[in-house]
Amino acid sequence: MFTVENYIDSIKIHLEKQSVLVEDQLQKIFSYPFSKDIEVLDFTAFIEPTRFELSVIMFSMDKEANEVFNEGNDSTVFAGSEDVLQEVEYHQMNDSQLDVFFEFHEQNEEKLIPQEQNVFAQWFRLCWEKAGGASLDLPSYFTIHDSDDSLDLKNNCWKDAEEKWS
């Protein structure tokens, strides 16, 4: 009934519908005058697999893996976090099919999970590029929350999540 290819294609179709929204939000973020204390931009995806929902938040970080906030009264610079995408559906399914789908997913998770993560990351990287991300002076990464890997958006390569702080 379900195939890996059909499921991944469905994710791609649903994500594509959000591309313009994400690109517009990224262009807005890229125009911010970032605080000199920010050393890394960390775009983190939060995935709710039981509801097929995705959200992305940009965190401004230092090299010690601490979020940088604008705690002073300097309104001329930005530091903190910013929503890039608020909870959108990345796949649709009838409730009557959920049990069968989750059984399929569990049986194929070794193949599915890396493909899902790569689809999310490559979709985001393309939005980031179209929005002008390559012109940023700050290292930028895409991470799926609680994942051990991050996609270096400038170099389009996966790194251990800890490497982005060195």
pLDDT tens digits in sequence order for the chain, 166 residues long: 789 999 999 999 999 999 999 999 999 999 999 999 999 999 999 999 989 999 999 999 999 999 999 877 678 899 999 999 999 999 999 999 999 999 999 999 999 999 999 999 999 999 999 999 999 999 999 999 999 899 999 999 999 988 898 8
CA distance linking residue 61 with residue 54, whole number of Å = 22
**Residue 166, SS3 per DSSP:** coil
Domain ranges of the chain: 4-165
CA distance linking residue 86 with residue 20, whole number of Å = 14
Q: Where are the beta strands (DSSP E) in 17-160?
A: 40-48, 53-61, 81-89, 140-144, 149-152, 157-160
CA dist 55 to 7, 18, 82, Å? 19, 11, 11
